[in-house]
Structure 1
């Protein structure tokens, strides 16, 4: 494969990733209480990372602390997250509220259903190969 073809393929990957994100955002707007892409991302990270603090989010997402602070304040205002007052030893640990868990589950279910629909007709091997490629792609960021 020549350099020109590789560059064209990389551009195609980038373009299709943008389409995926844009469609996910559009789907979210159809929920009764939609989560923005940022809200969904932060809630997922908090849910998946017990003991996480805002500073940990800033580091993991390579964001400025003040940016994360504003985003966390929005999550708290919306009743989606809160600080765990029982864990004062490690700083201000974030946890999802019941409402946050519910909203994240609803949002994730909508997105999963779309992925399931789009993979209709794909063989198990094709799905496994696609999953492996995405895992490889995402793991490259952590090295």
Structure 2
């Protein structure tokens, strides 16, 4: 693995602070996802919620794309989709381009429940960011996007 030459300019204390803050953010995000899942349906698990969110926000998709996106095995995706299907939140149909594959799409009820939960979460986030300057909020979004892009490139190593 080749290490970029310019990593030495990053201060160790900054790295430790960022690592600590990310850990806290990830724990809070998992907690939020659990609550949002329960809000959508008491039987909905956090992993299934994440699949539902992806399908609602980005449209119908193949199970194989979810496997690649989330980096989990096909059986795990299948279990989550089965849960969502049993709850009436998604439906599977044969892919017209490849009869061996299935396309997963949110049902109208799945979209409605997810959007209601998402709208509530956005209101809470807006309230939290309401004490920030508009520039700080834009900067956070930009920097998180930049970090996610860089982090995505390193997760395959």
Classify the TM-score, shorter chain.
0.7 to 0.9
Query: Which residue is 1:67 aligned to?
Result: 76
Name the SS of the counterpart of 2:47 in structure 1. helix
Higher relative contact order (CA 8 A, sep 6+): 1
User: Conserved in 2, the CA contact under 8 Å of 1:40 and 1:107?
Assistant: no
Structure 1 segments of 4 or more deviating over 4 A?
none
In the alignment, which of 138, 141, 145 is matched to residue 128 of structure 1? Answer: 138
Q: If each structure's strand is expressed as a fraction of its own residues, which one has the higher value?
A: 2
Q: How far apart, in 2, do the equivalents of 1:65 and 1:74 lie?
A: 14
In the alignment, which of 25, 28, 38 is matched to residue 36 of structure 2? Answer: 28
Deviation digits for residues 65-106 of structure 1 (CA, Å, limit 9, x no counterpart): 111111111110110000135x43332111111111111101
Unmatched runs of 5 consecutive residues or more in structure 2: 1-9
Give the RMSD, CA atoms, in angstroms.
Answer: 2.3
The alignment's TM-score, normalised by the length of structure 2, stands at 0.77
Q: How far apart, in 2, do the equivalents of 1:16 and 1:7 lie?
A: 14
The alignment's TM-score, normalised by the length of structure 1, stands at 0.83
In the alignment, which of 106, 113, 124 is matched to residue 114 of structure 1? Answer: 124
